[in-house]
Homo-oligomer: A and B are copies of this chain.
Amino acid sequence: MGEPVTIMDVAKAAGVSPATVTHALNGKRPVSEMTRKRVLAAVESLGYVPSWNASRMKSRSSGIIGCLAADITETFVNQIVRGIEQGLSGGQHSLFFVSGIEFGNDLKKAYHFLKSHKVEGILFCHHLPIWKEFNLDTQNSDIPIVSVNMDTPGMISVIPDNTTGGYQAAEHLYGCGMRHPAMICGPEDRLSVQDRLQGFSSRVTELQMQMPTLRYYGNYDYDHGFEAAIELMRDYPETDGIFCANDYIAAGCIAGLQNLGYEVPSQVRVVGFDNRDFSSFWNIPITTFELPLQEMGILGVSILKQVISTGSYAKTKHVLQSKLIPRQSSRG
């Protein structure tokens, strides 16, 4: 498939030196208009594209930022990645996305891969503290790392404010008439679940209401919501407002409530989290919270860029607010 065209080929074709070709292309020193035109013509006709590798051999900077994530099909990952791309667009850096899947979930391998490409910084995008496994490397890493979505001690972190989300959920449900709150949680080991729970229960306490001690932990899915709702209403029949840890659970919860003959929202109000696509057109549209995922990606890039350019690496923590989206499931 065709020999690779080098700067020498272009130089020969244009009858100039390789140095002139470089400068005609990147304008780092003046080139006469006539020469430039000849060079550009040669570039065009030969289909020459400079080799990134060779260019970056000399200059210390690779111009590449790496992103390490587990699985691109997870909504939170691809939304964040989209934000990262936006934050990078038009700038000097480009993105090298690497998924755990490529490396059999061996993050150490993936990290070394990025390092071998001389990335100038890494955006780390997980919902579990997997970083612990290769802690040693990252702590003393000469490459700045920003953790997006996980509050990772010892790293700069950009995270959504799940706690305030929970707090606002309680506030909102109270305003809609809830007096006997409850929560159906997701997986117990997720920080997002704990934070949402903590925010919710703290506002519940402030408002001098009681909530069940049972947490109804389970998967982040419909079935768990359905079953938990039935258990919950059996255990605490006075419940008139349920905060679900995400929209899948909320959807199941609503269905479970309807199955028991409850009316949503007049008898029981329901709030979810994450603003999944179906939430807007669920049979009872689901009140939810939109995570600032793209904003997190954009902010992560901006912070990383700053760290790279200044060299200062303060382990700061940046919290972005989630946004309440009120829908029918919570208000009459």
Is A53 interfacial (CB-CB < 8 Å)? Answer: yes
- Give the residues in chain B near A115, CB-CB below 8 Å: 49
Give the size of the chain A interface in residues (CB under 8 angstroms): 61
Is A22 interfacial (CB-CB < 8 Å)? Answer: no
Is A175 interfacial (CB-CB < 8 Å)? Answer: no
Is A186 interfacial (CB-CB < 8 Å)? Answer: no
Partner of A102, one of B89, B118, B222, B276: B89
**A:278-323 near B, CB below 8 Å:** 278, 280-281, 283, 311, 313
Is A327 interfacial (CB-CB < 8 Å)? Answer: no
- Give the residues in chain B near A99, CB-CB below 8 Å: 82, 85
Is A156 interfacial (CB-CB < 8 Å)? Answer: no
A255 in contact with B278 (CB, 8 Å): no
Partner of A53, one of B62, B101, B103: B62
Interface flags for A117-158 (1: CB within 8 Å of B; 0: not) read: 110000000000000000000001011100000000000000
A101 in contact with B86 (CB, 8 Å): yes
Residue from A72, A89, A115, A118 with most neighbouring chain B CB atoms (10 Å): A72
Is A219 interfacial (CB-CB < 8 Å)? Answer: no
Closest to A90 in B: B104
Closest to A223 in B: B281
Partner of A1, one of B82, B90, B142: B142
Q: How many copies does the complex hold?
A: 2
Residue from A112, A116, A143 with most neighbouring chain B CB atoms (10 Å): A116
> Which of A11-19, A73-81, A208-216 binds B?
A73-81
A47 in contact with B104 (CB, 8 Å): no
B222 in contact with A281 (CB, 8 Å): yes
A72 in contact with B81 (CB, 8 Å): yes
Is A2 interfacial (CB-CB < 8 Å)? Answer: yes
A95 in contact with B89 (CB, 8 Å): no
Is A23 interfacial (CB-CB < 8 Å)? Answer: no
Closest to A103 in B: B89
- Give the residues in chain B near A280, CB-CB below 8 Å: 222
B311 in contact with A1 (CB, 8 Å): yes
Known: A89-B102, A102-B89, A252-B281. A54 touches B51 (CB 8 A): no
Is A113 interfacial (CB-CB < 8 Å)? Answer: yes
A223 to B102, CA, bound (A): 38
CB distance from A173 to the nearest CB of B (A): 24
Using CB atoms and an 8 Å cutoff, list the residues of chain A in contact with chain B: 1-2, 4, 47, 49-54, 56-57, 60, 62, 71-73, 75, 78-79, 81-82, 85-86, 88-90, 94-99, 101-104, 112-113, 115-118, 140, 142-144, 222-223, 248, 251-252, 255, 276-278, 280-281, 283, 311, 313
Name 12 A/B residue pairs within 8 A (Cβ), A-sorted: A1-B311, A4-B118, A51-B116, A52-B117, A73-B78, A82-B99, A85-B101, A88-B102, A95-B102, A223-B281, A251-B278, A276-B278
* Nearest 5 CB-CB pairings of A with B: A2-B142, A278-B278, A222-B281, A85-B101, A53-B53
